[in-house]
Structure 1
Amino acid sequence: MDAITTALILLLAVVASGGITRSLPLPVPLPLVQIVLGVLIAAVADLGVELKPEIFFLLFLPPLLFLDGWRIPKDGLMRDRGTILQLAFGLVVFTVLGVGLFLHFMIPHMPLAVAFALAAVISPTDPVAVSAIAARTPIPHRLMRILQGEALLNDASGLVCMRFAVIAALTGSFSLIDAFGNFLWLVTAGVGVGAGVTWAAGVAKDWITRRVGEETGSQILISLLIPFGAYMLAEAVGGSGILAAVSAGIVMSHIEQAGHVMALTRVRRAAFWDMIQFSANGVVFVLLGEQLPTIVHAATRAVSEAGQREPVWLIVYVVAINIAVAVLRFLWVWVSLQFTLFRAARKGETAEKPSWRLIAATSLAGTRGAVTLAAVLSLPLLLDDGSPFPTRDLAILLAAGVIIVSLLAASIGLPFLMKGLKLPPEPTHHEEEDKARLVAARAAIMAVERAQHDLGEGRSDADLYADAGARIMESYRQRIERGSKTGDAAEHLRRMERIERELRLAGIRAERNEFYQLARTRQLTDDTVRKLVRELDLLETRLAPGA
């Protein structure tokens, strides 16, 4: 019962965080609000939450990483793969070496292996917080795609570096050859298992659907089980469960392009996964806030071991680490950009050089989040000889501090850096979207003609099929005619479409209000109202601007 009560309290805090964030006059990121709520919960109630790292990893990371891999735009991922790989792998190693040496210099009592482990923990970025900031401070789409792609891959590289550093701390030895071999196996096994599990689940699901039909609830449940299955199987064979969850999501997006799932299933599944993402991310940050007083108390005792008597040095350490991480990230991004411009010049291509503010925004947007918290909590309690793991409590506090300060810095700095910034032009997809609509309209007309002929052939009411088919095909022919217009004629049609959309939306909202009124007067059953309102909701979603 205590566990259930705790879970409900955490979920209630996540619900409250959304309303609080929207009501604030300043663009405060949602994770910060959730951390504050967690601290308040700890102040008024002792939930006694014990975060076991293996359970924490298994419960939260697989679905979140799976969803990121599923939803990230693959065209942007491929187009910017060079930049993403540089940030996800090169920058992680650069950060681990630079910050690890800096930590050992700043805190001599912290062993070098532990310093490298902590540096590896804080190297992965978290795009969720940046997305929350982007809701009020627009960030270029391409930059967001790069940050999301980086976060998908640097989780694995950072955790692999942490694993090797922890092994070195436990055993006192490190082999570069063994580390490289283990890294290859972790990556290969993780990606292979994730892709294989998703492919096998997709084949089995399609086989069953063809024979017994599709049931929406089962399809949603299968999509939830896939990341957990991929993660657990990859870990069982010694691979990276993180990469398995990511690759499972990427393969899932390709399987979905076959279109074997009903539209209703897709609509419901999208809503379900939105809820999972919001809840899981929220609970992670509320838990961080709930654990923060305990972490601070333990680290205050540990700071004396670092040779300092005053707890204020904890703040100094956290700020210094964030500055070091930001400086290293800025240097890496700047050098990578110069290398990209040099390659473009060698090929005779012209590339517009971004301003330093955009480079600084890219550096500042590398906030830390759920993976950092989960990873630092997974540090072992004891060494192989049974002695306590050195400076573990201090490492946990420093990682938590980096999360909070990076969120604060991004929420304050990004709006300032992005204000009035002239951005390099981004390619638009209006032309290819219009072409796709025209091709789809022609295919639809042919399909309607065939269906009209097949369904109406030999029937006494064949004329009804002909009339219905003509009405449907006329709407598609109007779409084709609109697509062939150019210049002022095209602009006139676009204005007409906007006006028509606004009028249709006004009618839809009036219909919905009338349905609710009929329900309140008991003239419609609840099931009927839900069905009618859902149809209107789907239609309004399709017609709404930006849909």
Structure 2
Amino acid sequence: MNILNLAFLLLLAVGLSRVLARVVRLPLPILQILLGSLLALPPFGLEVRLDPEVFMLLFIPPLLFYDGWKIPKREFTEHGTEMLAMSLLLVLLVVVLAGYFIHWLLPDIPLAASFALAAILSPTDALAVIAIAQGRLPRHMAHQLEGEAMLNDATGLVSFKFALAAAITGSFSLASVSAEFLLVAFGGVLIGGGLSWLVGKAKQWMTARQLYDPATYVMTILLLPFAAFYLAEHAGMSGILSAVAAGMVQSRVNMLPVKTSTRILNRSLWEMLDYSFNGLVFLLLGLQFPRIVEGALNGSQAAGHGLPGLVFHALAITLLLLAVRFAFVYAYHWSAGYRRRRHGQAAPDAPLPVLSALSAVAGVRGAITLAGVLSVPLTIGDTPFPGRELMVFLAAAVIVLSLLAGALGVPYVLRFLPQGAAEDHEEELRNARRRATEAAVAWLEARTQATPDNETAVPRGQEVAARVLESYRLDLAALVGRDEPARQARRSQLLEATIRLDAIAIRRKALYRLRKHGEIDDQTLQTLIRELDYEEAALG
């Protein structure tokens, strides 16, 4: 099958999986893996052989870029210690414990390669578990998972890169690796963040000179993660952290109050790409699965491993990952609660075992793990990479088992959480909408009392402004109370549309002020800016 037909078929399968997920009560990633496995079997017999380097370059930069784009910055600041502990200390713990455990289970996999496999198993997939939870996760935990996923994608992949280099070269020095890790990490962040900042400055320069074109800018942003990744790798720095830093900086540039059409186009494109790329990764996992199983069996025949034995090993690794995560989260929150109690502060209401169990089953592995393990080179020089097929099989099996653990465990553990443990995100949205609408009402009242001279000749100008004011008052009454939102205001006249556009600008500025003062987080800001963008687009 030629590459064009293959691309069309895979994208069609991604769309079909979304429809099937509404009928078949299975998590979307598991459904996509099953669909890919079905396409790989007769009578379809679809076979896709992936170049590891191409696969890494194609999927990793945009996925990490969008991770950095979406991470809630306020939660990252407030709970940064917890996120850093989960993404640095926990990753290091997983690499060491799981690395030795894998080598003990399967001596066919060299110790350095075992560490590489453990490193690539450390990143979690927040999107998969949030989809499984269907909005029932406590808000703090959802944000913590998003922040942790973004950071441990980077730290896990960087650790994987070093362990893989040790497996290839056969040499390893902790001191030199630690120093090099800090150098390449800082260099990657600097390159990615700097490049993204320059793109933002170029956007401002072009806008000021009437040279700005939304489509061209969005195409530039589409290429930005690949450019950040490539430039950092070419300079010997971390392309992974470079892509993440570019996304974090660009998320700020994207929310600046210029060119609503650009934000809408940019947002839509990246949501589509994230949806497509994540779906394609799980489909490709399913397509590879029969060949992965066959290769693992062939590679393990000499050691006497059969398929049941390999599945048992994957299950043992998954249980170890769950246990390590549970113990780490429990120890972290226990020590944090102990410190709070010593300072006379209140401890969390939710019981530690429940929170730790929820975090453990929520540590689902996904797209980054698969993309990373498939990037393991096929050969070292002229000899096959030792244990590669086993590594790929174990990583694929752990992904599936962790998805099953999340699908079964998250809904079960959530039943034991107290009702008050879940924060009310809707209340923050409601308060932010109210504050923004109050700012628009104040501006409209001042405008009505002092109409500019150039509008006195416009018939019924005061009446139009009063009508818009009344509409906003109705909206405010709906937001303050618990009734259904007020009816949509009429936008038939040009003057009314102009006043509404000005009022939207006032509301948007009020939201930026709320975010600047830390009264709302990035997630709330992005949600409400999206609403205002679409409202403005509807006015033309």
The interval holding the TM-score normalised by the smaller chain is: 0.7 to 0.9
Q: Secondary structure at the match of 1:338?
A: helix
Aligned to 1:442: 442
Aligned to 2:406: 410
Residue 396 of structure 2 corresponds to residue 397 of structure 1: no
The question of whether the paired residues in 2 share the 8 Å contact of 1:445 and 1:476 is answered with no
The question of whether the paired residues in 1 share the 8 Å contact of 2:116 and 2:164 is answered with yes
Shift of 1:431: 4.2
Aligned to 1:236: 234
Aligned to 1:6: 6
Give unmatched runs, 5+ long, in structure 1.
Answer: 484-489, 509-536
The correspondence for 1:173, drawn from 171, 182, 192, is 171
Name the CA distance, whole Å, in 2 between partners of 1:471 and 1:296: 68
Aligned to 1:282: 279
The question of whether the paired residues in 2 share the 8 Å contact of 1:455 and 1:465 is answered with no
The question of whether the paired residues in 2 share the 8 Å contact of 1:97 and 1:116 is answered with yes
Question: Once structures 1 and 2 are overlaid, which stretch shifts more, 47-56 or 285-294?
Answer: 47-56
Aligned to 1:67: 66
Name the CA distance, whole Å, in 1 between partners of 2:447 and 2:149: 43
Name the CA distance, whole Å, in 2 between partners of 1:499 and 1:109: 64
Name the CA distance, whole Å, in 2 between partners of 1:349 and 1:157: 32
Aligned to 2:94: 95
- Change in CA separation of 1:304 and 1:219 when aligned onto 2, cut-off 3 Å: same
Q: Secondary structure at the match of 1:212?
A: coil
The question of whether the paired residues in 2 share the 8 Å contact of 1:303 and 1:311 is answered with no
Output the amino acid matched with 2:53: E
Shift of 1:470: 3.3
Give unmatched runs, 5+ long, in structure 2.
Answer: 492-529
Name the CA distance, whole Å, in 1 between partners of 2:226 and 2:4: 22
The question of whether the paired residues in 1 share the 8 Å contact of 2:137 and 2:422 is answered with no
Name the CA distance, whole Å, in 1 between partners of 2:128 and 2:245: 22
Aligned to 2:514: none
Residue 327 of structure 2 corresponds to residue 328 of structure 1: no
Name the CA distance, whole Å, in 2 between partners of 1:110 and 1:62: 28
Name the CA distance, whole Å, in 1 between partners of 2:448 and 2:87: 48
Aligned to 1:532: none
The question of whether the paired residues in 2 share the 8 Å contact of 1:195 and 1:248 is answered with yes
Aligned to 2:364: 367
Per-residue CA deviation, residues 460-490 of structure 1 (Å, 9 max, x unaligned), is x34443333333344446667888xxxxxx5
The question of whether the paired residues in 2 share the 8 Å contact of 1:444 and 1:476 is answered with no
Name the CA distance, whole Å, in 1 between partners of 2:10 and 2:318: 28
Residue 415 of structure 2 corresponds to residue 419 of structure 1: yes
Shift of 1:447: 6.4
Give the % identical residues: 38
Of the two, which has the highest radius of gyration? 1
Per-residue CA deviation, residues 490-543 of structure 1 (Å, 9 max, x unaligned), is 54xx42xx1645xx59x99xxxxxxxxxxxxxxxxxxxxxxxxxxxx9899869
The question of whether the paired residues in 2 share the 8 Å contact of 1:198 and 1:251 is answered with yes
Question: Once structures 1 and 2 are overlaid, which stretch shifts more, 224-233 or 294-303?
Answer: 224-233
Residue 262 of structure 2 corresponds to residue 265 of structure 1: yes
Aligned to 2:455: 456
Shift of 1:301: 1.0
- Change in CA separation of 1:539 and 1:256 when aligned onto 2, cut-off 3 Å: closer
Residue 252 of structure 2 corresponds to residue 254 of structure 1: yes
Q: Secondary structure at the match of 1:359?
A: helix
Output the amino acid matched with 1:424: A
Question: Once structures 1 and 2 are overlaid, which stretch shifts more, 226-235 or 403-412?
Answer: 226-235
Name the CA distance, whole Å, in 2 between partners of 1:448 and 1:220: 39
Output the amino acid matched with 1:37: L
TM-score by length of 2: 0.85
Aligned to 1:376: 373
- Change in CA separation of 1:231 and 1:449 when aligned onto 2, cut-off 3 Å: farther
Q: Secondary structure at the match of 1:174?
A: coil
- Change in CA separation of 1:352 and 1:2 when aligned onto 2, cut-off 3 Å: same
| Equivalent residue runs for 1:14-163 within 5 Å | 14-24=14-24, 26=25, 28-43=26-41, 44-135=43-134, 138-163=136-161
Q: Secondary structure at the match of 1:173?
A: coil
The question of whether the paired residues in 2 share the 8 Å contact of 1:100 and 1:115 is answered with yes
Shift of 1:75: 1.4
Count of aligned pairs: 492
Shift of 1:138: 1.7
Question: Once structures 1 and 2 are overlaid, which stretch shifts more, 228-237 or 392-401?
Answer: 228-237
Shift of 1:229: 1.6
The question of whether the paired residues in 1 share the 8 Å contact of 2:193 and 2:245 is answered with yes
